[in-house]
Amino acid sequence: MSDKLRAYLYLHFCVFIWGFTAVLGKLISLQALPLVWWRVLLCSATLALILPRKQIFALGWPMFRRLFGIGILVGIHWLCFYGAIKIANASIAVASMATTSFFSALTEPLLLKQKIKWYELALGIFILPGMALVVGNIDWTMRVGFAVGILGAFLAAVFTALNKKIIDSHPPPPMVISFVELFAGLAVTSLALPFALARAPELTVLPAGFDWLWLLVLAWVCTLLPYYLTLQAMRYISAFSTNLTINLEPVYGVLLAALVFREDKDLSPGFYVGVVIILIAVFGHPLVKKIFEKNEAAGSPAP
């Protein structure tokens, strides 16, 4: 098995696992901010216990600062994602993430100083009508949730490209990257939590009952494992390919949310047409990429 194929298998496995995050976000009774705070706290604490200290201290300040900044974006992204779940529903939250590939087609070339691949941008744009169908017949409350999810998708495109830039140079071990970025997510949510409590004193921070179980599943199974595997996979594939593959998350998420919460009753037929458009874009990408790269090679002058 080639490294690239293994990377794609890792990613598809991660996307399937991430499909459960929206369901868990709905099952957990906490609001978005306390939920994300507990998620990154459990992840950071786990990594702090298992990581050798010398690997962390070997980072150096410049690399630590870069990873910490990326982690802040990750933390805000999760706040947007779970905020969208609470404002709208799990299906809308995961569907909004499909716009990540559109943003990635622009942010990756800009941040990595590469030429924009117009076919990737076209694929990203192709997904947008699907998103319009997804939100076409929902009320304005859900539209706000979708907009919050879109912001989270943009941040995902940015931090994925920044991670790819680090991975393509001389990266630290993936577990160390995970620890610093998740710790930064803990820092940003810890700073936001007192302000949220000041505005809403009734906000519940302490999990209750089965919340503890779902939080552990969310942290260990749906965060640490896919975070590590995704960083490993990005050694062999681009940020755009990563985000395009992650577009399958809405498919898994919608199906799981429909199965668990019967949210399919809230969704119009147009929603499912939009999901089909997403699938066409995801599975059409390898074919389109092959065609364009073949044409570019044919048009190149002989050496």
> What are 180-203's pLDDT values in tens digits?
999 999 999 999 899 888 888 888
Q: Which residues contact 193 (CB under 8 A, 6 or more apart)?
A: 33, 34, 37, 205
Closest CA to 75 of 203, 228, 181: 181
- Token readout for 288 is 């389109």
pTM over 0.85: no
pLDDT in tens, 75-108: 899 888 878 877 877 667 767 777 788 888 888 8
Gyration radius from the chain CA atoms: 19
Distance CA 196, CA 147 (A): 21
pLDDT in tens, 247-274: 777 667 767 766 776 655 566 777 778 7
